[in-house]
Structure 1
Amino acid sequence: MIIFRYLTREILLTMSAVAGVLLLVIMGSRFIRYFTSAADGDIPVSILGTLMLFHMPGFLELILPLSFFLGILLAYGQLYLNSEITVLVACGTSPNRLLTVTLLPALIVAVLVGACSMWLTPTSSLHNELLLEEQRSNVDFSSLTPGRFQSFGSGRTAYANDVDEDDRRLQEVFISESQKRSDGTPENVVTRASLGYQTTDEDTGSRYLVLEDGDRYSVEAGRAEAERLEFGTYAVRLTRASEAVETDDAEFATTTDLLKGIDDPEAMAQLQWRLGAPVMVLILTLLAMPLSKVNPRQGRFAKLLPAIFIYVAYLSLLLATMDAVGKGKIPGVIGMWPIHLAFLAIGLLLTFNAQRKGMSG
Structure 2
Amino acid sequence: MIFRRALQRELASSAGATFTVLFTVLLTWTLIAILGRAAGGKVASGDVLALIAFRSTELLPTILILTGFIAVVATITRSYRDSEMVVWFASGQSLLGWIRPVLTFGLPLVALVAALSLVVTPWAKMKSAEFTERFQKREDLKRVAPGQFRESSSSDRVFFVERSTEGATVVQNVFVSSVNGKDHSVVVAKEGVIETDDKGGQFLVLSNGRRYQGVPGQADFQSMEFERYSMRVATQVPVLGADLPVSALSTPALLAAPNRYTMSELLGRISAPIVCLVLILLAIPLGFVNPRAGSSANLILALLIFFTYNNLVRLAEASVKQGKAAFGMAWWPLHLAMILVVLALFAWRLNVNGRYHPLVLLNSWKRRRLAGRAQPAARTEDTAA
* TM-score with structure 1 setting the length: 0.89
Aligned: 1:194 with 2:190: yes
Aligned in 2, Cα 1:139/1:347: closer, same or farther, shift over 3 Å?
farther
Query: What does 1:57-206 align with in structure 2 at a 5 Å threshold?
Result: 57-138=57-138, 140-152=140-152, 154-166=155-167, 168-180=169-181, 186-203=182-199, 205-206=200-201
Aligned: 1:252 with 2:253: no
SS in 2 for 1:251: helix
SS in 2 for 1:42: coil
SS in 2 for 1:43: coil
Q: Give the partner amino acid of 2:339.
A: L
Higher mean C-alpha deviation, range 160-169 or range 220-229: 220-229
Q: How many Å separate the matches in 2 of 1:176 and 1:110?
A: 55
Q: How many Å separate the matches in 1 of 2:134 and 2:241?
A: 9
SS in 1 for 2:327: coil
Q: Give the partner amino acid of 2:225.
A: E
Q: Give the partner amino acid of 1:173.
A: V
Percent identical: 29
From 321, 327, 334, the equivalent of 1:332 is 327
Deviation at 1:131, TM superposition (A): 1.2
SS in 2 for 1:231: strand
Q: How many Å separate the matches in 2 of 1:147 and 1:308?
A: 46
Aligned in 2, Cα 1:340/1:189: closer, same or farther, shift over 3 Å?
same
- Per-residue CA deviation, residues 138-192 of structure 1 (Å, 9 max, x unaligned), is 2634443323333336353222222114463111212223334xxxxx3431211
Aligned in 2, Cα 1:312/1:214: closer, same or farther, shift over 3 Å?
same
Q: How many Å separate the matches in 1 of 2:228 and 2:76?
A: 74
8 Å Cα contact 1:269/1:335 also seen in 2 = no
8 Å Cα contact 2:263/2:327 also seen in 1 = yes
Q: How many Å separate the matches in 2 of 1:273 and 1:29?
A: 23
Aligned: 1:207 with 2:202: yes
Aligned in 2, Cα 1:239/1:16: closer, same or farther, shift over 3 Å?
farther
8 Å Cα contact 1:73/1:291 also seen in 2 = yes
Higher mean C-alpha deviation, range 33-42 or range 49-58: 33-42
8 Å Cα contact 1:158/1:174 also seen in 2 = yes
Paired position in structure 2 for 1:273 = 268
Q: Which has the higher helix share?
A: 2
8 Å Cα contact 2:30/2:55 also seen in 1 = no
Deviation at 1:107, TM superposition (A): 0.3
Q: Give the partner amino acid of 1:94.
A: S
Aligned: 1:321 with 2:322: no
Paired position in structure 1 for 2:11 = 11
Paired position in structure 2 for 1:342 = 337
Q: How many Å separate the matches in 1 of 2:303 and 2:174?
A: 57
Structure 1 residues without counterparts, runs of 5 or longer = 181-185
Q: How many Å separate the matches in 2 of 1:243 and 1:211?
A: 26
8 Å Cα contact 1:192/1:215 also seen in 2 = yes
SS in 2 for 1:270: helix
Q: How many Å separate the matches in 2 of 1:108 and 1:308?
A: 22
Q: How many Å separate the matches in 2 of 1:258 and 1:40?
A: 33
Q: How many Å separate the matches in 1 of 2:170 and 2:140?
A: 12
Structure 2 residues without counterparts, runs of 5 or longer = 354-359, 361-385
Q: How many Å separate the matches in 2 of 1:155 and 1:259?
A: 41
Q: How many Å separate the matches in 1 of 2:21 and 2:167?
A: 41
From 290, 299, 303, the equivalent of 1:295 is 290
From 188, 192, 216, the equivalent of 2:211 is 216
Paired position in structure 2 for 1:46 = 46
SS in 2 for 1:162: strand
Deviation at 1:250, TM superposition (A): 3.4
Deviation at 1:24, TM superposition (A): 2.5
Stretches (4+) displaced over 6 A: none
Deviation at 1:341, TM superposition (A): 0.3
Aligned length: 352
What value does the CA root-mean-square deviation take over the aligned residues?
Answer: 2.4
Higher mean C-alpha deviation, range 222-231 or range 102-111: 222-231
Query: Which protein has the larger Cα radius of gyration, Structure 1 or Structure 2?
Result: 2
Higher mean C-alpha deviation, range 113-122 or range 279-288: 279-288
